[in-house]
Structure formats: C-alpha cells, structure tokens
C-alpha cells in the first residue's frame, strides 16, 4: 500500500469513527469556529485542571479533513498541559505548511494530515480544529485563571 493510501485510510477512519465526538456538559472552555471556504464547522469543549486538558471533545460537521483532524486533535491533546497542546498545535501548523517534519512518535495519527500539504485549499480544513482549541483555551485561561489584564 502506498503511503498516500495509508494516510487516506487513517483520515477516513477518523471521519467515519470520530473519537471524542460528543457533548461535554459543563465544560470549562468551549469555542466554535467555521471555515466558510468549505462549510466546515467545529465546536471544541474541554475541561481544564491544574493547567492540563482533562477531557477534550468536539462536535461539528464538514469535510473529512476537518472532521478527522478534530478527532485526531482531541485524541492527541487530551491529558496534555495547555502549553504542550499549544506547542503541538504549532507543530501541526508547521507540518501543514511543509516546514516541520513530523515525528511519528509524537504525532501518531496526525501524520496522516501531512498529505494535505499538497492541497493548499484544504489546509484551512485541517487547521480549523486547532484554531478552535487555541481560542477556547486562551478564552478559558483569561476567564478562570485570573490573568492580569
Ligand atoms: Zn473542509
């Protein structure tokens, strides 16, 4: 099987069997964004404790890239500190820009998104979930962390 086919299989698997796609009642942080270019919409909800993402769930609709990226995102950042999750988000963006060579041990299934590099129009689909996570976490931090501003 060609590498491209493996990537496609992984993306389709997450699209058809999304992980952590559910409501998270009483979530500490939540945010919704959409990608009008493609019609994708993603809501991310998470619970935070001691600077760690305890639970991360998403809901949404859209193309296979956007939904599978969201599914992979919830799997890969759950249990991480916000700082680690944000640095992974930066690395995913870098990979999608063709600037970061993903480490499979760290990226896991996320490596499958690497194939999107060849389709610039779909990069927005792939980063949407990460944008939502980033905004949810920064809003939540400001609201609950008593940050000075
Ligand atoms: Zn899309």
Q: What's the CA-to-centroid distance between 146 and ligand 1, angstroms?
A: 36
**86, HSE (Cβ side, Cα atoms, 13 Å):** 11
Nearby residues of 44 by Cβ (< 8 Å), 6 or more positions away: 30, 31, 32, 56, 57, 58, 70, 73, 74, 129, 132, 133, 136
Q: What's the CA-to-centroid distance between 106 and ligand 1, angstroms?
A: 25
Per CATH, which fold does 3-138 belong to? Answer: Sufe protein. Chain: A (3.90.1010)
62-94: per-residue pLDDT in tens?
999 999 999 999 999 999 999 999 999 999 999
Q: Rounded to an integer, what distance in angstroms lies between the CA atom of residue 63 and that of residue 73?
A: 15
20-68: per-residue pLDDT in tens?
999 999 999 999 999 999 999 999 999 999 999 999 999 999 999 999 9
pLDDT at residue number 140: 61
89-110: per-residue pLDDT in tens?
999 999 999 999 999 999 999 9
pTM of the model: 0.91
What does the domain layout of the chain look like in residue ranges? 3-138
Q: Rounded to an integer, what distance in angstroms lies between the CA atom of residue 56 and that of residue 71?
A: 10
Q: What's the CA-to-centroid distance between 65 and ligand 1, angstroms?
A: 6
């Amino acid at each position: 099987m060609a590498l491209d086919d493996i990537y496609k299989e992984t993306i389709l698997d997450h699209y058809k069997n999304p992980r952590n796609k559910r409501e998270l009642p009483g979530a500490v942080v939540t945010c919704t964004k959409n990608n009008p270019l493609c019609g994708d919409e993603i809501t991310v909800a998470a619970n935070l404790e001691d600077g760690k993402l305890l639970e991360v769930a998403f809901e949404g609709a859209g193309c296979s890239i956007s939904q599978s990226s969201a599914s992979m995102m919830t799997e890969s950042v759950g249990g991480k500190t916000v700082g680690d999750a944000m640095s992974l988000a930066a690395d995913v963006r870098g990979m999608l820009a063709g600037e970061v060579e993903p480490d499979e041990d760290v990226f896991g299934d996320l490596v499958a998104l690497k194939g999107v590099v060849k389709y610039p129009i779909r990069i927005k689909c792939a980063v949407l979930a990460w944008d939502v996570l980033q905004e949810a976490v920064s809003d939540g931090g400001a609201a609950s962390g008593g940050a000075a501003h």
